[in-house]
Amino acid sequence: MRDLSLHWPGAALVALLAVAPAPGAAFYFPGVAPTSYKKGDLVPLYVNHLTPADSANDPKLRSVFSFDYYHPPFHFCQPDNGPEYVRESLGSILFGDRIQTSPFELKMVENQTCRVLCSTEKFPQRDALFVNSRIYQDYDMNWLIDGLPAAQHLSDPSTDTAFYSPGFALGQVQDENPEFNNHYDIYIDYHEAGPDNFRVVGVLVEPRSNQYPSTPSGNDCNSIDRPVILSESEDNDPVIFTYSVYWRPSPTPFATRWDKYLHVEDPKIHWFSLINSAIIVIFLIGMVSTILVRTLKKDIARYNRLDQLALDDFGDGAVEDGVQEDSGWKLVHGDVFRPPKNPLFLAVLVGNGAQLFMMVGLTIAFALLGFLSPSNRGALGTVIIVFYTLFGFIGGYVSSRVYKFFHGESWKLCFFYTPLALPSIVFSVFFLLNLFVWGRGASGAVPFTTMLILVIIWFVISIPLSFAGSWLGFKQPVIEAPVRTNQIPRQIPPSGGYLRPLPSMALSGILPFGAIFVELYFILKSIWFSKVYYMFGFLFICYGLMIMTSAAVTVLMVYFLLCAENYHWQWRSFFTAGASALYVFASALLYWVKDVSFLSWTSGVVYLGYSLLLSLLFFVLTGTIGFFASGLFVLKIYRSIKVD
Ligand SMILES: *[C@@H]1O[C@H](CO)[C@@H](O)[C@H](O)[C@H]1NC(C)=O
């Protein structure tokens, strides 16, 4: 069940494309080719940032900040010539990685016990305060050895399987005392691929807290006298950092070394949610197709028959009245293609939504094909940026065509707002939140140079592409409305109940949200706990279900709206589908109430800020889906009736 759940959609797709490598064959994606070591070769250990983690006994999120490994208050040992940054991709940096060199010396297949790394100077009380509060907040250390994260060995109680959970504790709280880990037992699984050809296939670290009375050697590291508890009321004695390395032979080949890291927590939940949303979708699609096929056909047949009758007995008032009295969507044919209020704004939103839609879809598809496996660090972030940039073209094209359909006049504004409005909002919020992180002194803030690179990419590639797309869309012929629009707008009869804007949004927004909320929960969790997300098979299906639900529910709502002789479907469809973003935000708040307990208000601000940003993007994305679904629907039904 577990393996199936993780792999089948991906496997099916890969097999479909007939690029499936034979099992065990050496087939690697770029950047993740195996490194071979000879006996005694130095295997570098890189250190990454410290991140808040969910420990088993306290699964709450206590902070949203991450810290550089060499943040001075930690007093971690540095290499002789000072640490150096390891080259990383843009996506990796954006997602928080800060990988640096370390003074550990690991030699392939050579066990070492109790090596002293370094000893700090006196440990000032101010720094002790800092370290202790990080221990209370469950911070994890993140190391990388040959591209593999140093992990903790955990077992999943629900399925009783053991797995490697990346990261290990900075310290632990025992009897109300924060113990600072200063000894690391490093267990490295290696695989012998050939004679004197070794590969790293697994890394576990068991940290310990050990207050050494004198410089340790031999077995001293294992005999714990008392733990290191840093006093916050006076300066502490120096802390000695030590480590041991144990190499363990393993049958796992290099190609599958990530499998034990990619553990699906409780796959039943994912399946349950999938089946659940599939049922909703089937139900909705059933309802929509009933309406489309049965009701509409009947409507159209009746309208056309009445037309015929009216022609036959021209001048017979009774039949005319019959049509007039008959309420229905045909009555608004002279208004349904009347441009909405603020057409520019809607066109820009829809263009941006199309851009997001393409980006998300293609990113998930790419991930499903295995291009974004976690071994390819930062690939996910990089691909998101690349796709978003390139699809600026689509954004421009779509907004321009929609604007033309709305008979828009302010062309230049449409050209400019499409690539500028939403991205600058997103970027400003991102920038402001980063200021907060800077101000906090946490080093998880995105470096200024990375920000600059983003802005340059945006201005040099994305905006010109969007202009080109807008130009192309502008040159296309206008999408013809099948019926003429009357001079004078029709009166809209008051409608009540679920057709009023707020109830209709609340009702219909919950369905697309229902399709994705379980995956959303896991995505949020992996973002806040800086863990890789890899359940792309599930996400792919959920995304598909969400699209179908958004489309179906909006079409349904628009049909009822038109039947109530309300022809303002454009904004309404956008808001109806987009309303699911409200639920996304509500679920972020619920997560806060349930699983988050921040010790500082800055964490809260950053959490809220990113939740709002995510909800905004979700609003634009789902709103666009709703708008296009109902646009197609409206065009289709009015094409099928005859209007004189
Ligand atoms: C290194 O230590 C591990 C774990 O204790 C042990 O299984 C392995 O045999 C040792 N290797 C050598 C070369 O001593």
Instruction: Tell whether 431 is covered by a domain.
Output: yes
Closest alpha carbon to 181 in 133, 240, 236, 93: 240
DSSP notation for 32-53? -PPPPB-TT-EE-EEE--BEE-
Are 59 and 208 part of one and the same domain? yes
Q: Quick check: 22 pLDDT over 60?
A: no
Residue with the smallest CA separation from ligand 1 atom 5 is 246
With a 6 A CB cut-off, is 248 part of the ligand 1 pocket?
A: yes
Would you give the distance in Å from CA 391 to the centre of its chain?
A: 18
With a 6 A CB cut-off, is 246 part of the ligand 1 pocket?
A: yes
Instruction: Tell whether 303 is covered by a domain.
Output: no
Q: What is the mean pLDDT of the chain?
A: 85
Are 243 and 345 part of one and the same domain? no
Q: Quick check: 306 pLDDT over 90?
A: no
More confidently predicted of 8 and 514: 514
Measured N-to-C along each axis, helices 2-16 and 267-289 cross at an angle, to the nearest 10 degrees, of 50
From the CA of 247, how far away is ligand 1's center (Å)? 6
Are 204 and 348 part of one and the same domain? no
Instruction: Quickly state the pLDDT bin for 207 (edges 50, 70, 90).
Output: very high
Alpha helices in 290-410 (DSSP H): 296-312, 317-325, 343-368, 379-390, 392-405
Q: Quick check: 322 pLDDT over 90?
A: no
How many CB atoms lie under 10 A from the CB of residue 309?
16
Give the structural domain span for 376: 341-480
Specify the range with the lowest mean pLDDT, choosing from 107-116, 136-145, 252-261. 252-261
Average pLDDT in the 300-327 region? 60
Number of domains in the chain: 2
Are 201 and 59 part of one and the same domain? yes
More confidently predicted of 608 and 508: 608
Q: Which atom of ligand 1 is nearest to the CA of 110?
A: 13
Portion of the chain with pLDDT greater than 90, in percent: 43
With a 6 A CB cut-off, is 411 part of the ligand 1 pocket?
A: no
Instruction: Tell whether 552 is covered by a domain.
Output: no
From the CA of 245, how far away is ligand 1's center (Å)? 9
Mutation pick for ligand 1 pocket among 108, 190, 222, 247 (CB with most ligand atoms within 8 Å): 247
Are 363 and 236 part of one and the same domain? no
Phi, psi of 637, rounded to the nearest 5 degrees? -70, -35
Instruction: Quickly state the pLDDT bin for 9 (edges 50, 70, 90).
Output: very low
With a 6 A CB cut-off, is 111 part of the ligand 1 pocket?
A: yes
Predicted pLDDT of residue 442 = 61
Instruction: Tell whether 152 is covered by a domain.
Output: yes
Are 97 and 243 part of one and the same domain? yes
Would you give the distance in Å from CA 57 to the centre of its chain?
A: 26
Residue with the smallest CA separation from ligand 1 atom 7 is 248
Predicted pLDDT of residue 5 = 34
With a 6 A CB cut-off, is 438 part of the ligand 1 pocket?
A: no
Are 57 and 162 part of one and the same domain? yes
Instruction: Quickly state the pLDDT bin for 32 (edges 50, 70, 90).
Output: low
From the CA of 39, how far away is ligand 1's center (Å)? 14
Residue with the smallest CA separation from ligand 1 atom 9 is 248
From the CA of 187, how far away is ligand 1's center (Å)? 9
Q: What is the pLDDT of residues 351-393, one digit of tens each?
A: 999 999 999 999 999 988 878 877 778 888 899 999 999 999 9
Predicted pLDDT of residue 139 = 92
Would you give the distance in Å from CA 141 to the centre of its chain?
A: 23
Measured N-to-C along each axis, helices 463-475 and 411-439 cross at an angle, to the nearest 10 degrees, of 160
From the CA of 145, how far away is ligand 1's center (Å)? 18
Q: Quick check: 49 pLDDT over 60?
A: yes
With a 6 A CB cut-off, is 247 part of the ligand 1 pocket?
A: yes
Mutation pick for ligand 1 pocket among 39, 107, 248 (CB with most ligand atoms within 8 Å): 248
Kind and range of the H or E element at 474?
helix 463-475
From the CA of 309, how far away is ligand 1's center (Å)? 94
Residue with the smallest CA separation from ligand 1 atom 3 is 246
With a 6 A CB cut-off, is 226 part of the ligand 1 pocket?
A: no
Mutation pick for ligand 1 pocket among 109, 111, 205 (CB with most ligand atoms within 8 Å): 111
Instruction: Tell whether 495 is covered by a domain.
Output: no
Q: Three-class SS string for 552-603?
A: HHHHHHHHHHHHCCCCCHHHHHHHHHHCHHHHHHHHHHHHHHHHECCCCHHH
- The contacts found for 267-274 with CB under 8 angstroms, 24 or more apart, are 267/1, 267/2, 267/5, 267/6, 267/159, 268/158, 269/518, 270/5, 270/518, 270/519, 270/535, 270/538, 271/5, 272/518, 273/517, 273/518, 273/519, 273/542, 274/538, 274/541, 274/542, 274/545
Instruction: Tell whether 513 is covered by a domain.
Output: no
The whole-angstrom separation of Cα 295 and Cα 629 is 18
Q: What is the pLDDT of residues 551-604, one digit of tens each?
A: 999 998 999 899 888 899 999 999 999 999 999 999 999 988 888 888 788 888
Q: Quick check: 227 pLDDT over 50?
A: yes
Structure tokens at 13: 């797709």
Task: Pick the last residue of a domain from 215, 241, 256.
Answer: 256
Are 126 and 251 part of one and the same domain? yes
Predicted pLDDT of residue 310 = 66
Predicted pLDDT of residue 499 = 79
DSSP notation for 525-545? HHHHTT-----HHHHHHHHHH
* Contact assessment for residue 147 and residue 31, using Cβ atoms and an 8 Å cutoff: no
Are 363 and 221 part of one and the same domain? no
Q: What is the pLDDT of residues 157-194, one digit of tens each?
A: 777 788 888 899 999 998 889 999 999 999 999 999 88
Q: Give, in degrees to the nearest 5, the angle at Cα 450 between 448 and 452.
A: 70
Residue with the smallest CA separation from ligand 1 atom 14 is 111
Instruction: Tell whether 523 is covered by a domain.
Output: no
DSSP notation for 384-435? HHHHHHHTHHHHHHHHHHHHHHTT---HHHHHHHHHHHHHHHHHHHHHHHHH
Average pLDDT in the 449-464 region? 92
Average pLDDT in the 271-288 region? 82
Task: Pick the last residue of a domain from 194, 221, 256.
Answer: 256
Instruction: Tell whether 265 is covered by a domain.
Output: no
Predicted pLDDT of residue 356 = 96
Going by C-beta distance under 8 Å and a sequence separation of 6 or more, which residues neighbour residue 135? 170, 171, 172, 173, 178, 179, 180
Are 248 and 124 part of one and the same domain? yes
From the CA of 156, how far away is ligand 1's center (Å)? 27
Phi, psi of 287, rounded to the nearest 5 degrees? -65, -45
Are 237 and 384 part of one and the same domain? no
From the CA of 109, how far away is ligand 1's center (Å)? 8
Residue with the smallest CA separation from ligand 1 atom 4 is 246
Are 46 and 149 part of one and the same domain? yes
Predicted pLDDT of residue 170 = 94
Sign of the dihedral through C-alpha 45, 29, 520, 439? positive
From the CA of 151, how far away is ligand 1's center (Å)? 19
Task: Pick the last residue of a domain from 480, 495, 512.
Answer: 480
With a 6 A CB cut-off, is 40 part of the ligand 1 pocket?
A: no
Residue with the smallest CA separation from ligand 1 atom 2 is 246
**Dmax over Cα atoms in the chain, in whole Å?**
111
Structure tokens at 586: 């509500």
Predicted pLDDT of residue 490 = 86
Average pLDDT in the 300-318 region? 66
From the CA of 198, how far away is ligand 1's center (Å)? 15
